[in-house]
């Protein structure tokens, strides 16, 4: 499990699980400590991310935010490298 803080109110908790065909990354978006959204990315072979959970973090941000807020949070993720 790894927690990514996106700002004052938002954080994302990420986990990895094995599956019969590979693995998946799960992400839960929290606002002020409350779970507000979930997403997952499934992988059937090795993935090439700059850091673990990069793809699932981008997906949860793109699915749940728009405009300036989305841009700010995506920039936070880009700086995690």
**pLDDT tens, 25-67?**
999 999 998 999 999 999 887 667 778 899 999 999 999 999 9
- Say how far apart CA 67 and CA 70 lie, in whole Å: 5
Residue 81 has pLDDT above 70, yes or no: no
């Amino acid at each position: 499990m790894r927690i990514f803080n996106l700002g004052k109110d938002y954080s994302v908790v990420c986990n990895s699980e094995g599956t019969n065909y590979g693995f998946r990354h799960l992400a839960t978006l929290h606002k002020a400590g409350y779970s507000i959204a979930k997403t997952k990315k499934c992988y059937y072979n090795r993935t090439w991310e700059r850091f673990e959970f990069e793809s699932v973090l981008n997906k949860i941000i793109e699915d749940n935010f728009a405009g300036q807020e989305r841009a700010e949070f995506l920039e936070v993720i880009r700086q995690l490298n």
